[in-house]
Structure formats: C-alpha cells, structure tokens
Structure 1
Amino acid sequence: MTSAHSIEFFDDPAAALDVAGDLLAAEPVVSSIVASATHQAARSYAAGGPRPDHPMWWAVVRDADGVVVAVSMRTMPGAPHTVWVPAMPDDAARLLARAAMDRTAQAGDPPLTSANGSIPAVRAFTEETLRATGGTVGEGRPDRLWEATRIARPDPAPSGSGRLATLDDLDLVTEWFAVFHAEADAQAGRLPEEGEPQRIGGARGRIEEGSVWLWDVDGEVVHLTAARPPSFGVVRIGPVYTPAEHRGHGYASALVAEVAQRVLDDGNRVCLYTDRDNPVSNRVYAGIGFEPVLDQVNLVVSPAAAPATRAS
C-alpha cells in the first residue's frame, strides 16, 4: 500500500516546532494539544530537564510536494501512551500507523493500543494498526473541543473567591490532579482508564508557572481550575475539579469564567476540552459562554488473544 505522503520523526520538540510551527499556528485552537505539549517539552529540555523514560516523539507528515500537513505525537506519560492523530488524509494516517509501529518495534516501546484525535484520521490509523496486529477496537473517552470569545459570569456568584495556588497547596493540588480523571470517567459512566492521572502533569511545575487557581470559601479550598501557558496565542483550560462534597454550588462556573476572562483580557484565545458523555461539564461550560468547535474520538485496541495450546 503506497501513499503520496511522507513521515519524519523528531525526538527534539524544538526541532519539531521549527519544522511544523507555522502549521500549528495557523489553527491554534484546533492544534492546542500538540502545541501546548510540544512547547512544554521544549521549555523543559531547554531548562536542562531530564528526558522521560516513556515514549516521547513527534511525527511530521508532509504531502507529495514536501508541505507539512499534520503533526502527530506520542508524549503522554501514563499507559497506554496514546498517540495524538490530528486531521490528515486517510492514506497519510495509515502510513503514520505503519511508521509508528516500525519505530515502536525498533525502540522496544509499549505497543500502539490507543489513538486520539480527528475522527476519520484516528479510524484510519487504528484500522491499519489492527490490520498488522489483529485484535479488536473499542471507543474510549470521546472529547469535545470548546472555545469562548466572550464570558458570561454566573449571577449571582457563589460565595468565596478565586486565587492562585501556591506551594503551600502542593499536597492538595497533587491529590486533586490524581483523582480528576477517575472521577470524570465515573461521571460519564465508564471505568477509570489505566494511567490517566499522569497525563495532567506535575503539580509542582504547574503551580510554579502560575497556572493553577483555587476557589476559597472562608479559608477552605473547594475547587481547582488549571490552564496551560499560551501556545500560539491560545490558552487551554484544564483540569477543572470540584470534590463531590462541594459540587452543586457553582464554584466551577465561577472560577472557569474568571480564568477564561483573564485569558481574554490578556489578548489570548481560550479553549478547553470536555468529555462528550459528561453532561455536567458540558452544561457548565456552555452556560458561561463556551461553544463547541469539534468532536474527537479515542480508539483503544485490545490485542488478539493468544491461541490456546493443546494439552499433550
């Protein structure tokens, strides 16, 4: 099976940005996951940070004329180290799958069992993976991307106020980051996914960069909203977490609205992702002014079962 496209892998995030930055900047909201993750890795490496022991690569997809048309990556710390597959032609997605499988085998990395991103491209990528490995495929968490251009703050506002987290809040922020995805899956009626807490990133680093806010009521922290630093003029909010005992009071609406307004006031665009199956978060964000941009899919591969051995 041939393709008019070509794939080039990068281990260096700065090099990937040099080659593909113009493409990411052209649609910065749609590209916010790749852009923010790549910028974060580039900042870490520039500061002398260690290279992680999990798979960490970027794949630039070019058309027959050598024009960059897509950027894929595998950077998620937690298993199954999901591959990000943005919109691209089906033949390019299939070529990417074959190239990624070859790279995975050569590096001895964990197998490709999860892909997330553009619905048609992820399906083509996963179908090619299954053609080579066998097994079955199922859907994981379905994502929806939202953007807000104007914010409607809750009226009346809940009691309390927002503030930046400090290192005095490190234990609490670490704990809440760790439980965020498990509880989000529970709200959507799914079992928690293996490795999901690690995808949020280190709490200390997020606090030190000034990207974690807390809602405080009479000295008690009741809610957390975090955001990524701007990438190509776009700030992506998340995670957003309220412990069960504090839900239903409007804290998430109030703090997300406050953080989003700060982003817009600074001259940046603001976006976030929700789980399409989580009616609570979708209702909250729509209520303060976020509008859907696009839907994405996560496909999870279950390897083929080993053939049974016959007893002698």
Structure 2
Amino acid sequence: MADPVDDGDDAGGGADASNGVPRCVVETIDDASKGLDLCGDLFRSEPIRSTPVTTSLYPGRASALLRVSNGADTVGVAAEEAEGYTLTPLGAGAAAALADVLPIDRPSTLLGAPGDVADVAGRWSERCDGAVGTGTMFRWYRLAELVETRKHKGALRVADTASIDRAASWMVAFGEDVGLPLSSDAAAARVGDAIHEGRLFEWVVGDEVVSQLTISPARFGVVRINGVYTPPKLRKDGHSSAITAAAAAQQISRQKVDDVVIDQPASTGVTNRMYRRLGFVSVWDTLAVHLIPGPSRR
C-alpha cells in the first residue's frame, strides 16, 4: 500500500483548497480499536452507511484504515482488505485525498456510494492512465418490522469448528455469486474468526446444513447480516428466507442493537424481493468497481 501523505504543503493526498474545498489530510491507522475511536465522529453520524467499514474492524486486531480529516472532523474513511478498499460516505475533499494516495501499481476493488466511487476512481485513473472495470450495484436494506413468514422445516444454530471446511467453501461460492471473489485462504480465515466468536449461523434440516450466514459485531447500534448462502441444489425450499428471518429476530432483540442491515446485488431480483417480504426496506446503494492501472504502472 502506498504511504498516505500528510498534505501540509502542496504535495498530493489532499483536496485543493483554492476552489473552496477544504484541504484534507490522510493518515493510516493500523489498530482497529484506535480506528473506531478516532473515526467515531463519522461512524456515529452515519451508523448504517458506515457499516461496511465498521463491521470489518475488530478490537485487538491489526487493521489498515485510511482516515481523511479536514483538521477537525473525519470526512471519510477507507478500509483496506485483501480485495481492495471499502469506503464510508465521503465529505468535501475526501474523494480527491483518497484518490491521491491509493496504490497505482496493482489492480484493486473499490466499494462505496456510487458518487463517491466515481469521484475516487476518476481521479485515481488520471494518476496512472488506468481503467475502471464494470461495476456491481449492491442494494442495502434495514429491518423495519420483521414479517412473520410461513413455517419452514429446520432450526437455527451456531456453527462449530466441524463446519470450517464446508463453510469456507460456501463463502468462496457466495463471493463468486455476488461478484466479489474471495480466496480460499481468506475465506477460511473469516470463517475461523466467525466460528470462534459465535457469529456463523447455520440452518439445519434434520442432520443436514442447508444454508448459512454470518453476523457482524454490533457497531454503533448496527448489526450486519452477510453471506447468506444456500447451495444451488438446495434452493427454492425457503432455506435462505428462514435463516435470515430467524437470525434477524435474534439480533434485533439484543439490547445493543438498534438496526439490522443486509445487502445484496441489485440485479438478483428473487433475493431482493425476499428481503422486502421479510420486512426489510431499502436505505441506500453501493457500487463495486475494479481499478486497473495503466500498462506502464503494473
């Protein structure tokens, strides 16, 4: 990763104050607890839209967080993961500041609000004569009021270590389905963490696991349901609907949880309709694009 620039002079890494946009400073935060603290002003003001970033931070673990500030307030945050960067909503000057420090020597993925992604990707591509690949739109929902669904066979349970191999392979398959590929090693690490922390849930019919999902830690009152996956041969029997409803009901009853959110590619009509039937309402969209450096930069 390129070293972020403290834009105290006229170097890159900050927005141009000459046109009325505040000059911004980008700093790297390598500790999750510190990131949650230093960026808490933005996270508290945008708890749902910051969820893709906040739910990737685990106190006690290393992180790679880019904080953009205007000298007083946090105006944007980018979390680095193996696949690229995930953005919070960006304030004035934040897109330019981030674009000026993102690496230009390797491809990566950029995920965030469509306008913010366009602003960052456009300026980044000018730096390296790069290209921006076709994007995937994700629709985000929050639970308004859970709608009782017809009873499905099965029960919700917390996964244990016996599920690691299967769950990791399903997580890889989920990434392929939604257009955000994940390596086997990365999937195994995520699954291992989720099982250790009691955040991987399964829907079990008889002795067979037919669906799975993960639950994020609660961050600023928000919990994210992610990775809802049912193998193709087991679909159309309501397993995804059943596990989502059961997990959402369990989470919204927790004292620290104000909202339960979930996201899905906007192009998958069946799943989007399922979430709306369960009582989720659309609150915002994000866009994932691939950043491809120019030939001379690779």
- TM exceeds 0.5? yes
Amino acid of the structure 2 residue aligned with 1:16: G
Q: Deviations over 1:233-292 (max 9, x none)?
A: 211001100011110011111110010011111131200111111112211111101111
Are 1:95 and 2:92 matched, yes or no?
A: no
Cα distance in 1 for partners of 2:169, 2:183 equals 15
- Residue 141 of structure 2: SS of its match in structure 1? strand
- The answer to whether 1:71 aligns with 2:65 is no
Counterpart for residue 16 of structure 1: 35
Aligned CA distance change for structure 1 residues 95 and 44 (closer, same or farther; 3 Å): closer
Does the CA contact (< 8 Å) of 1:182 and 1:197 recur in 2? no
1:169 equivalenced with 2:167 (yes/no)? no
Q: Is this contact kept in 2: 1:90–1:124, CA < 8 A?
A: no
Moved more, 212-221 or 165-174: 165-174
Q: CA deviation at 1:118?
A: 1.5
| Correspondence 1:217 to 2:205 | yes
The yes-or-no answer on 1:116 pairing with 2:111 is yes
Does residue 274 in structure 1 map to residue 291 in structure 2? no
Aligned to 2:9: none
Offset, 1:196 = 8.8
1:44 to 31, 42, 61: 61
Q: Do the aligned residues in 2 keep the contact of 1:182 with 1:196 (CA within 8 Å)?
A: no
Q: Give, as a single letter, the amino acid of the residue that structure 2 aligns with 1:140.
A: G
User: Could you tell me which residue of structure 2 aligns to residue 49 of structure 1?
Assistant: none
Percent of aligned pairs sharing the same letter:
24
Q: Distance in 1 between matches of 2:221 and 2:35?
A: 18
The answer to whether the 8 A contact 2:90-2:116 is kept is yes
**Contact preservation (8 Å) 2:199, 2:216:** yes
Q: Residue 294 of structure 2 is aligned with which of 274, 292, 304?
A: 304
* 1:76-108 per-position Cα deviation (integer Å, ceiling 9, x unaligned): 12xxx311233224632112111334xx7xxxx
- CA 112–18 in structure 1, closer or farther in 2 if over 3 Å, else same: farther
Secondary structure at the aligned position of 1:142 is classed as strand
Which letter maps to 2:143? A
Q: Which runs of 5+ in 2 are unaligned?
A: 1-14
Report how many residues are paired.
276
C-alpha distance after superposition, 1:220-241 (max 9, x if no partner) = 1111122112112211001100
Match of 2:69 in 1: 62
**SS of match in other structure, 1:139:** coil
Which structure dedicates a bigger proportion of its chain to helix? 1
Equivalent residue, structure 1, for 2:132:
137
- Amino acid across the alignment from 1:283: R
* TM-superposed deviation, 1:193: 4.0
Q: Which amino acid aligns with 2:171?
A: F
> Counterparts of 1:276 and 1:196 in 2: how far apart (Å)?
25
Q: Does 1:230 align with 2:218?
A: yes
Distance 2:295 2:102 in 1: 22
RMSD between superposed Cα atoms in Å: 2.4
Return 5+ residue gaps in structure 1 as ranges: 46-55, 105-109, 186-191, 307-312
- The SS at the match of 1:37 is coil
SS at 2:252's partner residue? helix
Amino acid across the alignment from 2:294: A
Secondary structure at 1:230 match in 2 = coil
Distance 1:170 1:57 in 2: 26
For the structure 1 residues 85 and 174, does the alpha-carbon distance in structure 2 shift closer, same or farther, using more than 3 Å as the test?
A: closer
- Report the residue type matching 1:27 in the other structure: E
Once the 2 structures are TM-superposed, how far is the Cα of residue 199 of structure 1 from its aligned partner?
6.3
Q: Distance in 2 between matches of 1:240 and 1:17?
A: 26
Alignment partner, residue 150 of structure 1: 145
Offset of 1:197 from its aligned partner?
8.1
TM-score (norm 2): 0.84
2:106 and 2:293 in contact (8 A); partners too:
no
Hey, what's the Cα distance between the residues in 1 that align with 2:269 and 2:243?
A: 19
Structure 1 residues 126, 87: CA separation in 2 closer, same or farther (over 3 Å shift)?
A: same
Corresponding residue of 1:107: none
C-alpha distance after superposition, 1:49-87 (max 9, x if no partner): xxxxxxx52122222x5222222221x12xxx3112332
After superposition, where does 1:196-275 map in structure 2 within 5 Å?
A: 198=186, 201-267=189-255, 268=257, 269-275=259-265
Query: What displacement does 1:14 show?
Result: 2.2
After superposition, the Cα gap between the structure-2 partners of 1:73 and 1:87, relative to the gap in structure 1 and judged at 3 Å, is same
